[in-house]
Amino acid sequence: MKRILPLVAVVVLAVAGGAYWLNTQQGPVAGVTQIEPVSSDGADVDTSGVVEMVMGAEDAKVTIIEYASFTCPHCASFHSQVLKPLKAEFVDTGKVKFIFRDVYFDRFGLWASMVARCGGQEKFFGIADILMSTQAEWSRAGDPTAIAGALRKTGRLAGLDDDTLQACLQDEDKAKALVGWYQENAAADDVNATPTLIIDGEKYSNMSYAALKELIEEKLAE
């Protein structure tokens, strides 16, 4: 499980200067938005346009929110070992609504999120699957320019053209909104590690599919 900085540190790094920090490690990268710092209370950031990425029936009895980072190895394992059977057994059958919420440890995770969201709700989970399954390759592609290039390649594999990808990666307002949205959500749900699950309003740490299935079945039987 990858730990998130304590909330006080998150406020200092991710709010009072985190957006800038995300994009200035090792210098700027051509073709990717150079986002500026946001205020300590997020008041200057409009997060209303950020779309929740959701799978499953709106009226499902159980709702699961996963907080995850595209650069978190434990999150990649969760997506391959837990989310796939969860989707087949409970989401696709209308029993569970699943919501994915982004967490940003670094600018690479933010860039990956911007690529995944570039195709909208329709393509998000397909692109997310590719990013998680190939995380070890693109996240270690080399310097930041190489990583940005690897992320663009993933977007192209998902059917996005270069102009669309470029527009998404250079969308400064979206980048600011995503960082602010992550901060609001993490504070509201007391998220301090990834992956974190919020199941019907209760917080749980990472778990095996067997444990998650047992928990879901208990809730479905209530």
The mean of the pLDDT values for the chain is 84
The CA distance from 113 to 132, in Å, is: 11
Note the pLDDT of residue 32.
54
Q: Which amino acid is at 153?
A: K
Picking from 140-144, 157-161, 211-215, which range would have the lowest pLDDT averaged per residue?
140-144
DSSP category for residue 51 = P
Encode pLDDT of 20-70 as tens digits.
Answer: 334 444 455 555 554 443 444 445 688 999 999 999 999 999 999 999 999
Tell me what the mean pLDDT of segment 71-82 comes to.
Answer: 96
Domain count for the chain, please give it. Answer: 1
Q: Residue 120 is inside which H or E element, if any?
A: helix 120-133
The residue to which tokens 């400064």 are assigned: 172
Secondary structure element (H or E) that encloses residue 22, with its range: helix 18-24
**Boundaries of domain holding 152:** 2-44+52-221
Dihedrals phi, psi of 198, to nearest 5 degrees? -110, 110
Percentage of the residues of the chain whose pLDDT score is greater than 70: 80
- State both tokens at 173: 């307002």
Q: State the average pLDDT over residues 181-188.
A: 91
Rg value, the chain, Cα: 17
Instruction: Residue 34: give its domain's CATH number.
Output: 3.40.30.10
Residue 175 and residue 35: Cα distance in Å, rounded?
7
Single-letter residue type at 83: L
What is the model's pLDDT at position 104? 87
